[in-house]
Amino acid sequence: MDRKNPIRVLLAKPGLDGHDLGVKMVALTLKDAGMEVIYLGMRQTPDNIVRAAIQEDVDIIGLSNLSASLVPMGQAVMQRLQAEKIEIPVLYGGIILKPDREKLLAAGISETFGPGTMMADIIAAIERLVPADKRL
Amino acid sequence: MYTKADLERIAAKRQAWESGTLAKMPPRQSTFSTVSGIPIKDIYTPEDVSGVDFLDDLGFPGEYPFTRGAYAPMNRGRPWTVRQVVGVGTARETNERHKFVMKEGQTGMSNDFDVPTCIGMDSDHPLAAGEVGRVGVAIDSLADMEALYDGISLEKANHSFTINHPTPAILGMFVALAEKQGAALEKISGTTQNDPLKECFAMKMFSFPPRASVKLMMDTWEFAAQHLPKWNITNLNGYPTRDSGGTAWHELGLTFASAIEYFDEADKRGLQIDAIAPQISIMWYVHIDFLEEIAKFRAVRRIWAKLLKERYGAKNPKSWKIRMHAQTGGGVYTYQQPENNIVRGTIGGMAAALGGVQSMAIACFDEALSIPSEKAHRLSIRTQQIIRHESGIADVVDPFAGSYFMEWLTNEIEERTWKVMEDVAGKGGMTRCVESGYVDRMLTQEAYKTSCAIESQEKIVVGVNAYVSEAAEEEPEVFRVSSETEQTQLASLRRLKKERSNPAVRKALDALRNAAEANDNVMPMCVAAAKVYATEGEILDALRSVYGEFKPADVV
In a domain, A136, yes or no: no
- Count chain A–chain B contacts defined by CB atoms under 8 A: 89
Confidence at residue A74, expressed as pLDDT on a 0 to 100 scale: 96
Write the residue in B131, B478, B556 that is nearest to A28 by C-beta: B556
Q: What is the pLDDT of residues B209-231, one digit of tens each?
A: 999 999 999 999 999 999 999 99
| Section B143-152 average pLDDT | 89
Confidence at residue B303, expressed as pLDDT on a 0 to 100 scale: 98
| CB proximity list for B164: less than 8 A, separation 6 or greater | B118, B193, B194, B195, B196, B198, B199, B203, B205, B206, B213
Q: What are phi and psi of A130, to 5 degrees?
A: -115, 90
For B307-332, b where at least 16 C-beta lie within 10 A, e where not — what string?
Answer: bbbeebebeebebbbbbbbbbbbbbb
Confidence at residue B547, expressed as pLDDT on a 0 to 100 scale: 98
Contact A92, A80 (CB under 8 A): no
Is the predicted pLDDT of residue B351 greater than 60, yes or no?
Answer: yes
Percent of chain B with pLDDT over 90: 81
Where does residue B248 fall: left (phi above 0), alpha (psi -120 to 50 degrees), or beta otherwise? alpha
* Residue B129 with chain A: CB contacts under 8 Å: 69, 72
H or E stretch covering A63: strand A60-65
Strand, helix or coil for residue A10: strand
Confidence at residue B534, expressed as pLDDT on a 0 to 100 scale: 98
Least confident among A8-17, A127-136, B200-209, B339-348: A127-136
Answer yes or no: do B370 and A95 touch at CB < 8 A.
yes
| Section A20-31 average pLDDT | 97
pLDDT band at B472 (very low <50, low <70, confident <90, very high): low
Q: How many helices (H) and strands (E) does chain A have?
A: 5, 5
- Exposed, middle or buried, B42 (CB in 10 Å: 0-12/13-18/19+)? exposed
End-to-end CA distance of chain A: 13
Is the predicted pLDDT of residue A133 greater than 80, yes or no?
Answer: no
The DSSP-derived string for B109-171 is EEEEB-HHHHHT--TTSGGGTTTTTSSSB---SHHHHHHHTTT--TTT-EEEEE--TTHHHHH
| Section B158-174 average pLDDT | 93
Angle at Cα B301 formed by Cα B297 and Cα B305, nearest 5°? 165
Beta-strand pair B158-162/B189-192: parallel
How far, in Å, CA of B541 to CA of B513, rounded? 9
Select from A33, A44, A36, A32 the least CA-distant residue to A6. A36
| Section B313-337 average pLDDT | 95
How far, in Å, CA of B364 to CA of B379, rounded? 7
Is the predicted pLDDT of residue A6 greater than 90, yes or no?
Answer: yes
In a domain, A133, yes or no: no
Q: Provide Rg for chain B, Cα atoms.
A: 24
| Section B91-104 average pLDDT | 76
Write the residue in A21, A42, A72 that is nearest to B244 by C-beta: A21
Is the predicted pLDDT of residue B144 greater than 90, yes or no?
Answer: yes
pLDDT band at B476 (very low <50, low <70, confident <90, very high): low
Answer yes or no: do A68 and B204 touch at CB < 8 A.
no
In sequence order, what are the beta bridge partners of B281? B235, B323
Percent of chain A with pLDDT over 90: 87
Is the predicted pLDDT of residue A1 greater than 50, yes or no?
Answer: no
Strand, helix or coil for residue B190: strand
Is the predicted pLDDT of residue A15 greater than 60, yes or no?
Answer: yes
Handedness of CA A56, A62, A66, A71 (dihedral sign): positive
DSSP state of B48: G
- Exposed, middle or buried, A46 (CB in 10 Å: 0-12/13-18/19+)? buried
Write the residue in B116, B203, B556 that is nearest to A39 by C-beta: B556
How far, in Å, CA of B451 to CA of B87, rounded? 31
Q: How far is C-alpha B382 from the chain's CA centre?
A: 22
In a domain, A132, yes or no: no
pLDDT band at A118 (very low <50, low <70, confident <90, very high): very high
Is the predicted pLDDT of residue A136 greater than 60, yes or no?
Answer: no
Nearest CA in chain A to B116: A16
Q: Which amino acid is at B541?
A: D
Q: Which domain holds residue A115?
A: 8-127
Beta-strand pair B359-361/B323-328: parallel
Angle at Cα A25 formed by Cα A22 and Cα A31, nearest 5°? 140
Answer yes or no: do A42 and B336 touch at CB < 8 A.
no
Handedness of CA B319, B322, B323, B325 (dihedral sign): positive
Select from B175, B117, B215, B155 the least CA-distant residue to B522. B215
Answer yes or no: do B115 and A67 touch at CB < 8 A.
yes
Handedness of CA B315, B324, B110, B99 (dihedral sign): negative
Average pLDDT across chain B, whole number: 93
H or E stretch covering A94: strand A90-94
Q: What is the pLDDT of residues B493-551, one digit of tens each?
A: 999 999 999 999 999 999 999 999 999 999 999 999 999 999 999 999 999 999 999 99
A106 at the B interface (CB within 8 A)?
no
Q: Which of A24, A67, A101 to mutate to test the interface with B (most CBs of B within 10 A)?
A: A24
Contact B237, B251 (CB under 8 A): no
Q: What is the pLDDT of residues B264-289, one digit of tens each?
A: 999 999 999 999 999 999 999 999 99
pLDDT band at B473 (very low <50, low <70, confident <90, very high): low
Q: What is the pLDDT of residues B486-495, one digit of tens each?
A: 999 999 999 9
3-state DSSP percent of chain A in helix, strand and coil, to 5: 45, 20, 40
Is the predicted pLDDT of residue B427 greater than 80, yes or no?
Answer: yes
Largest Cα–Cα distance in chain B? 86
Strand, helix or coil for residue A64: strand
- Exposed, middle or buried, B394 (CB in 10 Å: 0-12/13-18/19+)? middle
Confidence at residue B56, expressed as pLDDT on a 0 to 100 scale: 97
3-state DSSP percent of chain B in helix, strand and coil, to 5: 55, 10, 40
CA distances from B126 to A118, B58, B155, B287 (A): 34, 54, 37, 36
Least confident among B325-339, B341-355, B396-410: B325-339
| Section B169-191 average pLDDT | 93
* Residue B128 with chain A: CB contacts under 8 Å: 16
For B281-294, b where at least 16 C-beta lie within 10 A, e where not — what string?
Answer: bbbbbbbbbbbbbb
Contact A60, A92 (CB under 8 A): no
In a domain, A106, yes or no: yes
End-to-end CA distance of chain B: 49
Contact B199, B122 (CB under 8 A): no
Is the predicted pLDDT of residue B76 greater than 80, yes or no?
Answer: yes
H or E stretch covering A93: strand A90-94
In a domain, A91, yes or no: yes
Answer yes or no: do A28 and B444 touch at CB < 8 A.
yes
How far, in Å, CA of B166 to CA of B122, rounded? 11
| Section B428-438 average pLDDT | 97
Nearest CA-CA distance, residue A16 and chain B, Å: 7
pLDDT band at B31 (very low <50, low <70, confident <90, very high): very high
Q: Which of B127, B334, B337 to mutate to test the interface with A (most CBs of A within 10 A)?
A: B127
Is the predicted pLDDT of residue B331 greater than 80, yes or no?
Answer: yes
Confidence at residue B110, expressed as pLDDT on a 0 to 100 scale: 73
| Section A82-91 average pLDDT | 96
Where does residue B402 fall: left (phi above 0), alpha (psi -120 to 50 degrees), or beta otherwise? left
Is the predicted pLDDT of residue A17 greater than 70, yes or no?
Answer: yes
Per the model's pLDDT, the better-predicted residue between B470 and A110 turns out to be A110
Confidence at residue A61, expressed as pLDDT on a 0 to 100 scale: 98
In total, how many domains does chain A have? Answer: 1
DSSP state of B184: -
CA torsion, ordered B361, B367, B371, B377, to nearest 10 deg: -50
| Section A8-14 average pLDDT | 97
In sequence order, what are the beta bridge partners of A92? A63, A112
- Exposed, middle or buried, B366 (CB in 10 Å: 0-12/13-18/19+)? buried
**Ordered domains of chain B (ranges, CATH):** 54-455 (3.20.20.240)
| Section B291-310 average pLDDT | 98
In a domain, A51, yes or no: yes
CATH number at residue A108: 3.40.50.280
Q: How many helices (H) and strands (E) does chain B have?
A: 21, 10
| Section B356-382 average pLDDT | 88
Confidence at residue B270, expressed as pLDDT on a 0 to 100 scale: 96
H or E stretch covering A8: strand A8-12
SS (H, E, C) B328-379: ECHHHCCCCCCCHHHHHHHHHHHHHHHHCCCEEECCCCCCCCCCCCHHHHHH
Strand, helix or coil for residue A58: coil
Confidence at residue B105, expressed as pLDDT on a 0 to 100 scale: 65
| Section A95-106 average pLDDT | 94
Confidence at residue B54, expressed as pLDDT on a 0 to 100 scale: 96
Confidence at residue B481, expressed as pLDDT on a 0 to 100 scale: 64
Residue B460's CB is within 10 A of a number of other CB atoms, namely 12
Answer yes or no: do A16 and B369 touch at CB < 8 A.
no
Is the predicted pLDDT of residue B16 greater than 90, yes or no?
Answer: yes
Is the predicted pLDDT of residue B107 greater than 70, yes or no?
Answer: no
Confidence at residue B159, expressed as pLDDT on a 0 to 100 scale: 79
| Section B150-169 average pLDDT | 87
Strand, helix or coil for residue A44: strand
